[in-house]
């Protein structure tokens, strides 16, 4: 039984899912009374909620579809589309308590306290523009992925066989081309371009409206509670189709998959490194880039700061993202199994269509509905965090500081809600404008964040860093990134390394050529980020008493790094070991 071309079971799953998310948002309204409640939930969430919030906020449909797409087009090295963050993850264990100790509502508060109002404004400008583009890209990737899963893209029967797949068009969405042997075109029927676009706009508007409404009602409280459910759904998305793909007779399980991929003459499809895309040096540089990007996340404050203590923020931020690294193994396996199927059947397909087409072939209508809900969950769990974060930047650091300093908490919550609506509407317009070109947008956004992350790290670790250094570092790094990425046509590893090195040097030179920061303000800041939560009485002490010299580890050249605690060292090493284990497990799956 079908309605509007989709099985009734799919519609039933979607209705239940959307209704559940909206009810959870309505229920969360009672917990929002002031700005701290709306933006940080009064810092009262436990470990499991924080883990799922970090996992949900950091995962979107572009991750899943991107890994599957790159795996189908290039083999196992496609896993680095998501794993580029892998070996940066242990540093999250060290970053989280520092962010929690900032005791800020937004990351712009950090820039204002450390570098002044002008630096805060620069950060807000870069972060807001980046977040809007990122949110637009997430919405666009979601609509296109869901469109493919529902069979509502423009369908075109493949008229060629063999390998490689059709050349990538660079438009970030499926052409709807399907394997000739899959029979999907018979099940879905061909759509005209106009009909396809109507489905695109419908999916885009409904998805956006749902997360906008529950975020408007409940703020970060609703976001974290819905992320709890949506995180579990994303995990389901990561594993549900793998056994069915491996059990296809054309694939023949892991052994058959490996034999098929090893027999092709198209490079080494079972290698984790591909000289044409993700070679070893590129992967290493991406892993260096990861903690710098993380330090500039506008939503870093709620991810690390909404927990009851430093422990909740630390475990949540680190292991929510580690959970994504583990799920990435599943996404890559699905892509490899589907690649083996395409090779065995002699089918041709646009790589960007691989995820949607594989799901429609492998799963029953009810499970297709579940998978579609999982895709939408991945989008909304990122969208709600982005919306609330950008709205908080405007209300706290623009409206409260420059427009209405004396506004009460109830008024500020109202302003934040309205700002969130505006942010989402702008992102929606950008998504529509970008709908023919989205390739690399999210990746570029994360790379640009690392350029601000350089000055963030220097502001935390180097006492001599000042406002001029922050501007020199950020602006020069952005300029070099644009030149190397869009003008110079240089290799990927140059695009990653050059802006970071230039930003570092410019920050040092700009700071040394100008006056040092105010000593009193600097010492207050350093005491704050090194005094643990719960020991606030020490904040009133001079820096030499709050953080005595015996606790300092590196001080040469103006550095200020305290000795890591046992918890910090052990946690870092355990997380690093898990990252190495992920690589070992993936290598074992590839080699047998």
SS3 sequence of 236-254: HHHHCCHHHHHCCCCCCHH
Residues 6+ apart with CB under 8 A from 535: none
Whole-number Å distance between alpha carbons of 37 and 217: 12
Whole-number Å distance between alpha carbons of 420 and 403: 17
SS (H, E, C) 300-337: HHHHHHCECCHHHHHHHHHHHHHHHHHHHHHHHHHHHH
510 domain-assigned: no
Q: Roughly what angle, to the nearest 10 degrees, separates helices 107-115 and 117-149?
A: 160
Whole-number Å distance between alpha carbons of 355 and 65: 6
The angle subtended at Cα 14 by Cα 215 and Cα 187, nearest 5°, is: 140
Q: What is the pLDDT along the chain (592 residues), one digit of tens a residue?
A: 655 666 777 778 778 877 877 776 677 666 666 666 666 666 777 888 888 878 877 777 777 877 888 888 888 988 988 898 899 899 999 999 999 998 888 888 899 999 998 999 888 888 887 778 778 877 877 777 777 777 776 544 333 334 444 433 333 333 333 333 333 333 344 567 777 778 878 888 887 887 777 666 666 666 666 666 767 777 777 788 899 899 999 999 999 999 999 988 666 889 888 776 677 787 888 788 888 888 888 878 888 887 888 999 999 999 999 999 999 999 999 999 999 998 888 776 666 667 877 888 888 887 778 777 777 777 776 776 777 778 888 888 888 888 888 888 888 888 888 888 888 888 888 878 766 544 455 556 556 677 788 999 999 999 999 999 999 999 999 899 888 877 766 777 788 889 999 999 999 999 999 999 999 999 999 999 999 988 888 998 999 999 999 999 999 999 999 999 999 999 999 999 999 999 999 999 998 7
The number of domains in the chain is: 1
Whole-number Å distance between alpha carbons of 248 and 2: 26
Whole-number Å distance between alpha carbons of 246 and 333: 9
55 domain-assigned: yes
470 domain-assigned: no
CATH number at residue 81: 1.20.1730.10
Query: Which pair of tokens denotes residue 575?
Result: 């997380």
537 domain-assigned: no
Tell me the pTM: 0.82
Contact 356, 149 (CB under 8 A): yes
Whole-number Å distance between alpha carbons of 306 and 39: 8
280 domain-assigned: no
Residue 149, domain extent: 2-260+310-438+575-591
Pairing outcome for strands 177-178 and 561-562: unpaired
Task: Please report the DSSP string for 466-525 in residue order.
Answer: -HHHHHHHHHHHHHHHHIIIIIS---HHHHHHHHHHHHHHHHHHHHHTSPPPPHHHHHHH
Whole-number Å distance between alpha carbons of 41 and 536: 21
Query: Which pair of tokens denotes residue 539?
Result: 């904040």
108 domain-assigned: yes
Contact 304, 41 (CB under 8 A): no
Query: Could you give phi then psi for residue 6, rounded to 5 degrees?
Result: -120, 145
Which residues on adjacent β-strands are paired with residue 462? 559
Query: Which pair of tokens denotes residue 560?
Result: 């200020």
């Amino acid at each position: 039984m079908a309605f509007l071309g989709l099985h009734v079971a799919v519609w039933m799953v979607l209705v239940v899912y959307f209704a559940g998310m909206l009810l959870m948002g309505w229920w969360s309204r009672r917990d929002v009374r002031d700005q701290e409640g709306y933006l940080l939930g009064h810092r009262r969430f436990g470990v499991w909620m924080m883990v799922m919030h970090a996992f949900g906020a950091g995962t979107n449909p572009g991750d899943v579809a991107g890994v599957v797409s790159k795996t189908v087009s290039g083999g196992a090295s496609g896993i680095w589309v998501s794993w580029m963050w892998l070996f940066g993850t242990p540093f999250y264990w060290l970053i989280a308590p520092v962010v929690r100790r900032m005791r800020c509502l937004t990351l712009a508060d950090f820039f204002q306290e450390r570098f002044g109002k002008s630096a805060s404004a620069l950060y807000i400008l870069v972060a807001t523009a980046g977040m809007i583009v990122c949110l637009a890209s997430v919405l666009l990737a979601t609509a296109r992925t869901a469109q493919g899963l529902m069979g509502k893209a423009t369908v075109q029967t493949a008229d060629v066989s063999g390998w490689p797949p059709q050349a990538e068009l660079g438009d970030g969405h499926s052409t709807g081309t399907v394997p000739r042997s899959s029979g999907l075109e018979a099940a879905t029927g061909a759509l005209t371009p106009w009909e396809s676009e109507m489905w695109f706009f419908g999916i885009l508007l409904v998805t956006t409206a749902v997360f906008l409404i529950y975020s408007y009602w409940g703020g970060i409280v609703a976001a974290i509670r819905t992320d709890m459910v949506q995180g579990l759904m994303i995990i389901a998305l990561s594993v549900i189709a793998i056994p069915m793909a491996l059990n296809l007779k054309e694939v023949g399980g892991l052994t058959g998959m490996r034999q098929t991929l090893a027999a092709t003459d198209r490079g080494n499809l079972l290698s984790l490194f591909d000289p044409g895309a993700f070679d070893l040096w590129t992967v290493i540089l991406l892993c260096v880039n990861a903690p710098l990007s993380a330090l500039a996340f506008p939503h870093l404050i709620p991810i690390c700061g909404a927990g009851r203590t430093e422990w909740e923020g630390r475990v949540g931020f680190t292991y929510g993202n580690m959970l994504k690294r583990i799920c990435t193994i599943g996404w890559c396996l699905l892509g490899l199994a589907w690649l083996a199927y395409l090779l065995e059947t002699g089918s041709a397909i646009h790589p960007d269509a691989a995820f949607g087409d594989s799901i429609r072939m492998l799963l029953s209508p009810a499970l297709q509905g579940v998978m579609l809900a999982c895709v939408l969950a991945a989008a909304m769990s990122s969208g709600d965090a982005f919306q609330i974060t950008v709205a908080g930047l405007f209300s706290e650091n623009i409206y409260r500081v420059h427009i209405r300093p004396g506004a009460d908490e109830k008024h500020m919550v109202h302003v934040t809600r309205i700002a969130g609506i505006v942010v989402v509407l702008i992102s929606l317009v950008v998504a529509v404008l970008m709908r023919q070109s989205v390739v690399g947008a999210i990746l570029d956004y994360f790379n640009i964040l690392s350029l601000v992350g350089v000055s963030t790290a220097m502001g935390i670790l180097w006492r001599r860093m000042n406002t001029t250094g922050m501007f020199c570092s950020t602006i020069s790094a952005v300029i070099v990134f644009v030149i190397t990425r869009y003008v110079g046509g240089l290799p990927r590893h140059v695009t990653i390394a050059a802006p970071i090195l230039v930003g570092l040097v410019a920050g040092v030179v700009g700071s040394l050529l100008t006056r040092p920061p105010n000593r009193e303000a600097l010492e207050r800041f350093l005491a704050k980020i090194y005094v643990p939560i719960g020991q606030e009485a020490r904040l009133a002490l001079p820096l030499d008493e709050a953080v005595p010299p015996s606790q300092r580890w590196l001080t040469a050249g103006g550095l200020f790094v305290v000795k890591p605690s046992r918890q910090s060292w052990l946690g870092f090493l355990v997380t690093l070991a898990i990252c190495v284990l992920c690589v070992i497990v993936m290598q074992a799956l590839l080699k047998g």
